Amino acid sequence: MNEQQEKLPEKGKGAIVVGAGIGGIRSALDLADAGHHVTLIEKAPHMGGILSKLDYQFPTDRCGMCRMLPMMHRDSASQYCLRRGLFHDNIDLMLSTTIEKIEGESGNYTVQLRQKKQYVNPELCTGCGECTEVCPVGDIPDRFNEGSTTHKAIYLPLPHAIPKRYTIDINSCTLCGACVDACPENAITLPEDQKKNFRILVVDDELIVRDSIKEWFDFEGYPVDMAESGQIALEMIEKNEYSLMLLDIRMAEMEGTEVLKRAKEIAPELQVVMMTAYATVETAVETMKRGALEYIIKPFDPDTLIEKVNSIYQSGRQSDDVVMEVDAGALIMACGTDYYNPDSGKNTFGYKVYPDVITSLEFERMVSGSGATGGEIIRPSNGEVPKRIAWIQCVGSRDVHSGASYCSSVCCMFALKEAVLTRKRSGGTIETVIYYMDMRCFGKEFEAYRKEAEEKYQVILKRIRPHSVRMDNESGKLRIFIADSGVSTSEVISDSTSEVMSDSTSEVISDSTPDTMSKMPSFSDSKKDEVFDMVVLSVGQRPSSEAMALSELTGVPLNEFGFPETGVFPESALPMLSDSGTSGGTSSGAGASNRSAGGTSNKNAIFVGGAFGGLKDISESVIHASAAAAEAMKILNQLRGNRAPLQPEFRNGYSGASSPILSSEVKITSKLAAFRNPGYDEGDSSKGNAPGDVKSKSSGSAVGQKSSGSTVTQMIKPVSVEQKVLIIGAGISGMTAALLIADSGYKVILVEKKHVVGGNLNWLASNLNGNNFPALLAEMKEKIDKHPLIFLYSGWEVVECRGEVGNFSSTIEKTEEKKEKGEAATNYGGIREVIKHGAVIIATGASEADTASYSRGKSDAIITLKQMQEALNNTKTNQIQQNLNSKVQNIISGNSADVEADATIPVIDFAKLETVVMIQCVDSRDEIKPYCSRVCCTSALKHALSLKKINPDIDIYILYRDMMSPGFTEKYYNQARESGIIFIQYTSDKKPQVYVEKGNSDNVDGDDLQQEKQNCDLIKIRLDEPVIGRTIEISGDLLVLATGVVPSEAVGFSLSQDSANSHLSLQYSGLAEIMGIKNDEYHFFRQADSKWRPVDSTREGIFICGTAIGPRDVEESIISARAAAMRAMCIITHDKIQPSSVTAGVKTSLCSLCLRCVDTCPYDARHLNEETMKIDVNAAMCQGCGACAAICPNSASFVSGFTDQQMFETIDAAIGY
């Protein structure tokens, strides 16, 4: 206990994290893990946010939330399912708490918090539930189950939460006091019926008015006094204390306005409501100015007045709440998102009209074991098992009418998962159909999941947008009305550029009609209507209800849809209005000048984390949360100066078990203290288990044995940490991570294989939003060069990495100057250096793939997206050359030539192009690259919009499979369609055919060589047009192929065009092998867990970020780099890693060195020490799973707290019980 108190003053300024959903938990855990104090506040009475409602997540269709818990210093945190709650030494969790006020500036905030009054004392409540038995108020919809169940006025907000903290819904509570009498622990204190103290004074010269008002409020339980004149009223106010005065304006003796003025002098706190029969705007405004709360117009009915007074009374009751001030150095907002309510608006799908139409969240509660139906999928209308369920996508997304022209990004996977779950649960007996616009499975593993859903689970996907749902009155089933197939029906191919093929070789869709115009949406086609038993609406995301208020408090701007701006890019890289490339790119940049979370500015230390910024799935939210934590960490570290981080206390294997637990209870009152450790008795009386349950007893005896615990601690010593980070790859991700870590005060060794840093940013001039990447790169380069803590090794590569988390030792080697990309590099017997470091971040990036498909290589007019970007850069630099001096151009083009020596940069005169065709998904989402490359659709949109800007008359066709413009990029897709770019969908089984027609240079002025080269070929593309149902042919001057992204690890994949089958002969540089981590099936680096530990590699202490994980854009790369930096800093902030109490050990006298334990350890925490010939356990890496103990044939390996002896005794005790 003394230790705890001594530590308090050392805490320093911590951070406040708003929102204890998955994002807030991640941010808080990261900061706490890195030794900062965190106050985690949550508006709801429980933690977990939306994730407390979702039991199943793809790709496992299960949960793995607990993997977010710290792996180092495990004893500091709770060691149980995160759904139950969270405890951490450095985290103060405050539920039912909101922010009132923020004062001060970066690094020095004083934040006023308001915690709702707890009517049930959480320390006394055992969760026995007696109170709910007696509570007379029922039928309150349960938010946890999305309203599908009800609860009483006193209830458990989350059934599995620890502590089992009953809560009173005070607005519904009648204050009858039944629960107070029933509670065996006397834990409940109901608020006094304060209505008795809420005295009302009614001032009116008409007796009938006074009397009737008095009668109404007497009935309501308020004490009421009456005064017949202003003078008497003022005397009464002087004598008694009133909370509210109802004051007539027109009175005989003294005007109400005068009474108001003098009453306010006597009692300034008095609230006054004016009553007037002669209401005019002027009197109202005047009285309001003089301090009246509001006015009410006579004649009024009792309900209106009572409601008004009740609300005044309720708002005054907030004084019950606990208001406190907390100092903080930084603030992270992670309040998540809300969901669209399909009940609002036109509601053509009949939500809440037909009981069998439910939202995706309600469906999620239905399949949950803790939901209303206990996990059974049944029709809400009649309880029968449905035979057919339909999902309707984009409900409240991609829909201008519902105010959301963005894509919610998560619903496609959400629906797929729900459909797969349904198929699995029902054993395939329930048919599942998903109606979608574009199936946006743009994540690394998403495409594979979709394929599995379709092929293995027979989920039916239909690319149709239903317009309404209606119930058949006879059958009670739901009929989905469908307009027509094909979403992009608005575009009609113009005859000048395309011709309808009558060629017999082309396939013509059978139900087509020859006239293109007649294929506009037809509502009469009722054959396509389908009947279902249940309809699930995939509701889109909406900004969190807290976004507006927090934006006002913090000054963080909201974007056009009301989501907080995440502000990833520094000011220098914000889109320039004149150079935004896209006409609509300005909106997202609006308010940029006061952007709070800008990476470069320290003025403001308020950051947006998790899904609060909108439209993120779990993995992205977790990454964003860590990234926000990293930004906060930088501020906090700078504040902390040289003070040591909060060291987790070593609990010494539970020896002296009583003291640490007691002390923590004292330290963190009303929190989760008593439930911190797995071995601690969790008080089974509350669980209502049968008396035979010896759960608590057994766990207590199993873990609580003091003697063995202390012997273990003698054997396992703390692991010292080398407080440096090695970062491999100096692209945008590597540089971001390096700067962040260095700014936080730690040394960084930045190793880049090439001689130029910057990676893909060297050719990528901007993104769809028009951010200025050359400026960003220049700024980053300068900072890296100047930073005293960053040691840049460009032209070096890592050839060896030994050691373990906290203590790596890597060898780096100088690569040969001017070496061609792709050649074997390792055997250059050059200069080597050995570096010691505590953690590794791999940011080796990815590059554009090349292809042999679609006649690539047969014509110079067939280029890739990257070449397109370079050509666009070229035109820009050409213009600069004309207008300014020539140096600028030399520098820029010189750089890119150096980086990609083998890339031929085409020079294209875009003004002279007539028709440009882009084909998406080239070698992607198929056998060659089974994943979606995520960035190609947005790149194509970017290029297309740029082209339209250069030359508005240009015809652009984008041939796509599913348009992956997730999130806010959807607006550019809309823009592109508005600007006349034609989108034609093709399917993977009917790919477009490309023919090259050589030597046609009629339409070119022959004097320019480059142009001639460019334009002499005509590319003919033939494909099936789904809307008109015909095969069409497009003749293009330029064909741009979206070839997708391959990891940089694939060194054999170069842009050279000579090898026809380049995609088949990939070679890998073997960095994964060097680092001892794993690649995934696509040769990116494997994440430890794609959802819960998205930037952790499979080896502890090695983190991955940017495109090395999988395809992502620059913004996402920066965010992931920050997240990886945060995770690395969690390790290197501590000079020692303390082993946890439940850790494995070896009784060497029994060990026969069979090495089975070494093989079985999932964390590589064991190895054979060849000097001592003993098995060493790395206490920092050991997670105490006990796999080694179970496999050991000699019982030499053991887990402290779970030794054989202890387990046997526990079994004995359990059976003898």
Partner 1 sequence: METFEPTIIAFVCNWCTYTAADLAGTSRQKYPKNVRLIKVMCTGMVDPKYVLKAFLQGADAVLISGCHPGDCHYINGNYKARRRTKLLHEILSRFGIDKKRLRLTWIGASDGIEFAATIRKMVEEIREAGPLQSDLKMVI
- 160 vs 470, which CB is nearer to partner 1? 160
Extended beta strands in 47-107, E state:
91-94, 97-105
Q: What is the C-alpha separation between 90 and 197, in angstroms, rounded?
A: 41
Residue 702, interface with partner 1 (CB under 8 A)?
Answer: yes
Distance CA(1186)–CA(1192), nearest Å, equals: 10
User: Which stretch, 462-470, 584-592, 686-694, 875-883, contacts partner 1 (CB under 8 A)?
Assistant: 686-694
| Residue that has been written with the tokens 């959301």 in this structure | 404
Give residue 1214's identity as a one-letter amino acid code. Answer: A
Tell me if 83 contacts partner 1 by CB under 8 A: yes
Closest contact distance (angstroms) between CB of 535 and partner 1 is 25
Told to check if 47 binds partner 1 by CB under 8 A, we report no
Examine residue 872 and tell whether it contacts partner 1 (CB under 8 A). no
378 lines the binding site for partner 1 (CB under 8 A): no
- For residue 1204, state whether it binds partner 1 (rule: CB under 8 A): yes
Determine, following the binding rule CB under 8 A, whether residue 1160 of this chain makes contact with partner 1. Answer: yes
State the Cα–Cα distance between residues 966 and 1118, nearest whole angstrom.
18
- For the chain, the first-to-last Cα distance in angstroms comes to 35
Q: Is 639 in the site for partner 1 (CB under 8 A)?
A: no
Peptide bond connecting 59 to the previous residue in cis, omega within 30 degrees of 0: yes
Interface with partner 1, residue 1035, by CB under 8 A: no
Residues linked to residue 294 through DSSP beta bridges, in sequence order: 273
- Asked if residue 699 binds partner 1 (CB under 8 A), the reply is yes
Name the residue nearer to partner 1 (CB basis): 947 or 1142.
Answer: 1142
Asked if 554 is part of the footprint of partner 1 (rule: CB under 8 A), the reply reads no
**Which secondary-structure segment (H or E) carries 225?**
strand 224-227
Which residue lies nearer to partner 1 by CB, 641 or 691? 691
Task: Find the DSSP H helices in 593-705.
Answer: 618-640, 658-667, 695-703
d(Cα 551, Cα 102) in Å, to the nearest integer?
Answer: 11
Any contact of residue 693 with partner 1 (CB under 8 A)?
yes
Task: Kindly indicate which of the ranges 293-301, 679-687, 1034-1042, 1043-1051 contains the residues binding partner 1, using the contact rule CB under 8 A.
Answer: 679-687
| 91-94 and 38-41 strand pairing | parallel
Give the residue, chosen from 145, 588, 698, 873, that forms a contact with partner 1 under the rule CB under 8 A: 698
The residue among 995 and 1217 lying less far from partner 1, judged by its C-beta, is: 1217
> Does 540 contact partner 1 by CB under 8 A?
no
Instruction: Print the binding letters for residues 130-159 with partner 1: x by CB under 8 A, - otherwise.
Output: --------------------------x--x
Is residue 1184 close enough to count as binding partner 1 by CB under 8 A?
Answer: yes
Q: How many residues in the shown chain lie near partner 1 by CB under 8 A? A: 64
Dihedral angle of Cα 865, 867, 871, 876, to the nearest 10 degrees: 70
Interaction of residue 67 with partner 1, rule CB under 8 A: yes
Give the 3-state secondary structure percentages of the chain, helix then strand then coil, rounded to 5.
30, 20, 45
DSSP conformation class of 720: E
Q: Is 1081 in the site for partner 1 (CB under 8 A)?
A: no
Question: What are the two backbone dihedrals, phi and then psi, of residue 652, each rounded to the nearest 5 degrees?
Answer: 55, 45
Q: Give me the DSSP letters along 397-440.
A: SSBGGGTB-S--SSHHHHHHHHHHHHHHHTTT-SEEEEE-SS--
Neighbours of 508 (CB within 10 A): 16
Provide the 3-class DSSP secondary structure of residue 215.
helix
**Closest separation in Å from C-beta 1207 to partner 1:** 5
User: Does the protein bind partner 1 through residue 1217 (CB under 8 A)?
Assistant: yes
In the chain, the amino acid numbered 858 is: K
Alpha-helical regions (H) of 856-969: 865-883, 887-899, 936-950
The smaller minimum CB distance to partner 1, of residues 83 and 477, is found at: 83
Among 11, 298, 687, 1167, binds partner 1 (CB under 8 A): 687
CB under 8 Å to 721, separation ≥6 — which residues?
806, 807, 838, 1131, 1132, 1134, 1135, 1136, 1137
Q: Strand 807-814 and strand 832-837: pairing?
A: antiparallel
Q: Please identify, using beta-carbon distances, which residue of 81 and 207 lies nearer to partner 1.
A: 81
- The Cα–Cα gap between 3 and 659 comes to 11
Q: Which is nearer to partner 1, 88 or 754 (CB)?
A: 88
Q: Is 121 in the site for partner 1 (CB under 8 A)?
A: no
- Closest approach, Cβ 374 to partner 1, in A, equals 4
Which range touches partner 1 (CB under 8 A), out of 904-912, 924-932, 1075-1083, 1185-1193?
Answer: 1185-1193
Q: What three-state secondary structure class fits 816?
A: coil
Q: Looking up tokens 């530590």, which residue turns up?
A: 7
Half-sphere exposure of 682 (CA within 13 A, CB side): 27
Alpha helices in 1112-1203 (DSSP H): 1114-1132, 1156-1160, 1187-1191
Among 691, 788, 999, 1006, binds partner 1 (CB under 8 A): 691
Kindly state the DSSP code that residue 286 receives in the 8-state scheme.
H
In this complex, which beta carbon is closest to partner 1, that of residue 345 or of residue 688? Answer: 688
CB 432 within 8 A of CB 460: yes
Stretch that binds partner 1, among 456-464, 645-653, 714-722, 1157-1165 (CB under 8 A): 1157-1165
Candidate residues 104, 136, 184, 1162; the one interacting with partner 1 per rule CB under 8 A: 1162
Q: How far is the CB of 1189 from partner 1 (least distance, A)?
A: 6
The Cα 465–Cα 481 span in angstroms is 9
Interacting stretch for partner 1, rule CB under 8 A, among 5-13, 481-489, 685-693, 707-715? 685-693
Residue 1024: alpha-carbon gap to chain centroid: 38
Q: Measured from the CB of residue 711, what is the shortest distance to partner 1 in angstroms? A: 19
| Sites for partner 1 among residues 1126-1155 (CB under 8 A) | 1142
Least CB distance to partner 1 at residue 1146 (A):
15
Cβ 181 to partner 1, closest distance in Å?
21
Name the one residue in this structure whose structure tokens are 């054997």. Answer: 715
**Is position 184 an interface residue for partner 1 (rule: CB under 8 A)?**
no
**Residue number, 77 or 500, with CB nearest to partner 1:** 77
Residue 678 engages partner 1 in binding (rule: CB under 8 A) = yes
Tokens of 165: 């903290």
Rounded least distance, CB 606 to partner 1, Å: 34
Q: How far is the CB of 1165 from partner 1 (least distance, A)?
A: 11
Query: What residues numbered 822-841 form the site for partner 1, per CB under 8 A?
Result: none
Among 243, 368, 655, 1107, binds partner 1 (CB under 8 A): 368
Interface residues with partner 1 (CB under 8 A)?
Answer: 55, 60, 62-64, 66-67, 79-81, 83-84, 127, 129, 156, 159-160, 162, 164, 368-370, 374-375, 678, 682, 684, 686-695, 698-699, 702, 1142, 1160, 1162-1163, 1183-1187, 1189-1191, 1199, 1202, 1204, 1207-1208, 1210-1212, 1214-1217
